[in-house]
Structure 1
Amino acid sequence: MDELLGLPRFAGREGAAFKPGLGRIRALLGAMDDPQQQFRSAHVAGSHGKGTTSALVAAVGSAAGRRTGLHTSPHLFAVNERMRIDGAPASNDWLAGAVRRHRDLFERVGPSFFEATVALSLLYFAEKQAAAAVVEVGLGGRLDATNILQPAACAVTSVRLEHTALLGSTLAEVAREKAGIFKKGVPAVVGADVPPEALAALRDIAGETRAPLHRVGEETTLHRVGQDEAGLRLDLQTPLRRYRGLRVPLYGRHQAGNAAAAARFAELFWSDARSSAQPVRDGFAGVRRLAGLRGRFEVLGRRPLVVADVAHHPDALAATLRARADHFPRQQGRLVVAFGLMRDKDAAACAKLLAEAEAEVWPVALESGRALPPDALADVLRERGIARGPAGTAEAHRQRFLAEADPDDVLLVCGSHRVVAGACDT
Structure 2
Amino acid sequence: MRYEELSEWLDWQESLHPKSIDLGLTRVAGVHKKLHPGYEPPITLSVAGTNGKGSSVAMLEAILREQGYRTGVYTSPHLQVYNERIRIDGNMADDAALCATFDRIDQARADVTLSFFEFGTLAALDIFARERVDVQILEVGLGGRLDAVNILDADAALITSIGVDHVDWLGSTRDMIAMEKAGIFRPGKPAIVGDPNPPACLCSHAGVSLLGRDFGYELSGSVWNWRGLGAALDRLAWPAIPGRHQFMNAAAAIQMLRSLADLLPVSDQAIRNGLKNVRLPGRFQYFGGGSIPVLLDVAHNPQSAAALAGYLQEQFPGKTIRAVFSVMRDKDIHGIVDAVRGVVACWYLAPLKLDRAARGGDLSRLMQGMGVESIRNGYKTVAEAVGAAFSDAQPDDLIVVFGSFFLASEFLALDLQSGLISGSV
TM-score range, shorter chain: 0.7 to 0.9
Mapping of residues 336-415 of structure 1, within 5 Å = 336-383=322-369, 384-390=371-377, 391-402=379-390, 405-415=393-403
Aligned identity (percent) is 31
Once residues 129 and 224 of structure 1 are traced to their aligned partners in structure 2, the CA distance between those partners, rounded to angstroms, is: 39
Once residues 40 and 59 of structure 2 are traced to their aligned partners in structure 1, the CA distance between those partners, rounded to angstroms, is: 23
Query: Tell me, what secondary structure is at the counterpart of 2:245?
Result: helix
Mapping of residues 14-163 of structure 1, within 5 Å = 16-33=19-36, 37-163=40-166
Query: Is the CA contact (8 Å cut-off) linking 2:323 and 2:344 kept in structure 1?
Result: no
Moved more, 390-399 or 132-141: 390-399
Residue 224 of structure 2 corresponds to which residue in structure 1? 234
Once residues 344 and 107 of structure 2 are traced to their aligned partners in structure 1, the CA distance between those partners, rounded to angstroms, is: 55
Once residues 274 and 56 of structure 2 are traced to their aligned partners in structure 1, the CA distance between those partners, rounded to angstroms, is: 12
Are 1:257 and 2:248 counterparts? yes
Change (3 A) 1:38 1:220: closer
Q: How many residues align?
A: 404
Once residues 186 and 273 of structure 1 are traced to their aligned partners in structure 2, the CA distance between those partners, rounded to angstroms, is: 13
Residue 315 of structure 2 corresponds to which residue in structure 1? 327
Query: Tell me, what secondary structure is at the counterpart of 2:178?
Result: helix
| Amino acid paired to 2:247 | A
Query: Is the CA contact (8 Å cut-off) linking 1:8 and 1:16 kept in structure 2?
Result: no
Moved more, 130-139 or 170-179: 170-179
Residue 230 of structure 1 corresponds to which residue in structure 2? none
Change (3 A) 1:355 1:203: closer
- Residue-by-residue CA offset, 1:218-237 (whole Å, 9 max, x unaligned): 1223221658xxxxx43322
| Amino acid paired to 1:252 | G
Query: Is the CA contact (8 Å cut-off) linking 1:64 and 1:279 kept in structure 2?
Result: yes
- Tell me how far 1:401 sits from its aligned partner: 4.3
| Amino acid paired to 1:317 | A
- Tell me how far 1:8 sits from its aligned partner: 5.3
- Which of 176, 192, 198 in structure 2 is aligned with 1:189? 192
> What are structure 2's unaligned runs of at least 5 residues?
1-5, 417-425
Once residues 381 and 37 of structure 2 are traced to their aligned partners in structure 1, the CA distance between those partners, rounded to angstroms, is: 43
- Tell me how far 1:34 sits from its aligned partner: 5.1
TM-score using structure 1 length: 0.86
Once residues 367 and 254 of structure 1 are traced to their aligned partners in structure 2, the CA distance between those partners, rounded to angstroms, is: 32
Query: Tell me, what secondary structure is at the counterpart of 2:111?
Result: helix
| Amino acid paired to 1:85 | I
Query: Is the CA contact (8 Å cut-off) linking 2:301 and 2:332 kept in structure 1?
Result: yes
Once residues 68 and 223 of structure 1 are traced to their aligned partners in structure 2, the CA distance between those partners, rounded to angstroms, is: 29
Residue 259 of structure 2 corresponds to which residue in structure 1? 268
- Tell me how far 1:7 sits from its aligned partner: 3.3
Query: Is the CA contact (8 Å cut-off) linking 1:40 and 1:152 kept in structure 2?
Result: yes
- Residue-by-residue CA offset, 1:80-106 (whole Å, 9 max, x unaligned): 221112332111121122223332334
Change (3 A) 1:119 1:271: same
Once residues 94 and 335 of structure 2 are traced to their aligned partners in structure 1, the CA distance between those partners, rounded to angstroms, is: 40
Query: Tell me, what secondary structure is at the counterpart of 1:325?
Result: helix
| Amino acid paired to 1:201 | C
| Amino acid paired to 2:269 | Q
Once residues 412 and 236 of structure 2 are traced to their aligned partners in structure 1, the CA distance between those partners, rounded to angstroms, is: 30
Query: Tell me, what secondary structure is at the counterpart of 1:134?
Result: strand
Query: Is the CA contact (8 Å cut-off) linking 1:236 and 1:246 kept in structure 2?
Result: no
- Tell me how far 1:402 sits from its aligned partner: 4.6
Moved more, 88-97 or 383-392: 383-392
Are 1:301 and 2:288 counterparts? yes
Are 1:280 and 2:271 counterparts? yes
TM-score using structure 2 length: 0.86
- Residue-by-residue CA offset, 1:177-206 (whole Å, 9 max, x unaligned): 2211111221111113333xx2x31244x3
Change (3 A) 1:247 1:26: same
Query: Is the CA contact (8 Å cut-off) linking 2:192 and 2:210 kept in structure 1?
Result: yes
- Tell me how far 1:421 sits from its aligned partner: 0.7
- Tell me how far 1:26 sits from its aligned partner: 1.5
Query: Is the CA contact (8 Å cut-off) linking 2:185 and 2:191 kept in structure 1?
Result: yes
| Amino acid paired to 2:254 | A
Residue 419 of structure 2 corresponds to which residue in structure 1? none
Once residues 344 and 308 of structure 1 are traced to their aligned partners in structure 2, the CA distance between those partners, rounded to angstroms, is: 22
Once residues 18 and 115 of structure 1 are traced to their aligned partners in structure 2, the CA distance between those partners, rounded to angstroms, is: 9
| Amino acid paired to 2:376 | G
In terms of fraction of residues, the more helix-rich structure is 1
Change (3 A) 1:343 1:113: same
> What are structure 1's unaligned runs of at least 5 residues?
228-232
Residue 422 of structure 1 corresponds to which residue in structure 2? 410
- Tell me how far 1:270 sits from its aligned partner: 5.5
Once residues 355 and 242 of structure 1 are traced to their aligned partners in structure 2, the CA distance between those partners, rounded to angstroms, is: 38
| Amino acid paired to 2:24 | G
Query: Is the CA contact (8 Å cut-off) linking 2:35 and 2:104 kept in structure 1?
Result: no
Moved more, 34-43 or 87-96: 34-43
Change (3 A) 1:348 1:169: closer
Once residues 393 and 165 of structure 2 are traced to their aligned partners in structure 1, the CA distance between those partners, rounded to angstroms, is: 38
Query: Is the CA contact (8 Å cut-off) linking 2:163 and 2:303 kept in structure 1?
Result: no
